[in-house]
Amino acid sequence: MELYLDTANLEQIKEVAEMGIIRGVTTNPSLLAKEDPTVDFKQRIIEIHRLVGGHVSVEVISTDKDGMVREAEEIIEWFPEATIKIPMIPQGLAAVKELSARGIPTNVTLIFSATQAIAAQQAGASYVSIFLGRLDDIAYDGIAVLNDICEIWDVQGYDSLIIAASIRNPLHIVESARAGADIATVPYNVLMQSLKNPLTDIGLEKFIKDYDRYLTERQKSMLI
Ligand code: G3P
């Protein structure tokens, strides 16, 4: 399973890309709306791609097929490597069908059930994004839905890549990997939290203290 960062924040992307642990970035209108509005959308997306060097999903905001296709054409014009993120609605499926026929990669977003995932796959989606946290929020089991979808993909040999999205905690990352998701797209704070373990910090502190003690002892022994 690959890790993507779920953000539009350039500082976060730069920091995590430098660690070499992410292969892509997913954005959405809500994430973009959190960022500085004086930075042009197009420039932000190009900069994100420069920083991460891999997958970048860019979401359309139209809700009709022609509008989505028009937006996708515009995005591809200034950023040819983009994957176009399309909402899981009937008009979105029609847009995915047309874009996939033209070889433009798509990521169908806002998927909450196996039937929606199957439909997106049939329409030609390159990626299907399953929203774990938002299912958990309404007392559905997001990981159980993801497990179902991964199992169906194995049985059927479907080729759309499965993205575990709406990740809210490190356990979601572990369970997504166990389920067999191809990608987990993770917010910055959850990803950083997932790297931490108190035993690592305690262990490092002890290594440094022990080495300092050794150096002090050594210096003392050389003075004798
Ligand atoms: O990738 C989709 C994700 O951004 C949604 O996350 O936390 O808003 O449900 P969340």
For the chain, how are helix, strand and coil distributed in percent, rounded to 5? 55, 15, 25
What is the model's pLDDT at position 125?
Answer: 98
Catalytic, out of 34, 85, 209, 220: 85
pLDDT, one tens digit per residue, over 85-104 is 999 999 999 999 999 999 99
pLDDT averaged over the chain?
Answer: 96
What is the model's pLDDT at position 205?
Answer: 98
The band of 224, judged by pLDDT with boundaries at 50, 70 and 90, is confident
What is the model's pLDDT at position 186?
Answer: 98
Closest CA to 158 of 119, 113, 130, 201: 119
Nearest-CA residue for ligand 1 atom 1 is 165
Nearest-CA residue for ligand 1 atom 10 is 166
Q: How far is the CA of 67 from the centre of ligand 1 (A)?
A: 23
| Annotated catalytic residue 85 | yes
Beta strands 55-59; 161-165: pairing state = unpaired
Task: With a cut of 90, say whether residue 223 has pLDDT above it.
Answer: no
Kindly list the protein residues whose Cβ atom lies closer than 6 A to any atom of ligand 1. Answer: 6, 26, 28, 129, 131, 133-134, 165-166, 185
Nearest 5°: the CA angle 85, 32, 3 is: 60
Q: How far is the CA of 164 from the centre of ligand 1 (A)?
A: 10
The band of 182, judged by pLDDT with boundaries at 50, 70 and 90, is very high
What share of the chain has pLDDT > 70, as a percent?
100
Task: With a cut of 90, say whether residue 126 has pLDDT above it.
Answer: yes
DSSP string, 152-217: HHHHHT--SEEEEES--SHHHHHHHHHHT-SEEEE-HHHHHHHH--HHHHHHHHHHHHHHHHHHHH
pLDDT, one tens digit per residue, over 28-86 is 999 999 998 988 889 999 999 999 999 999 999 999 999 999 999 999 998 899 999 99
Task: With a cut of 90, say whether residue 222 has pLDDT above it.
Answer: no
What is the model's pLDDT at position 150?
Answer: 98
What's the pTM value of the predicted model, to 2 decimals?
0.95
What is the model's pLDDT at position 92?
Answer: 98
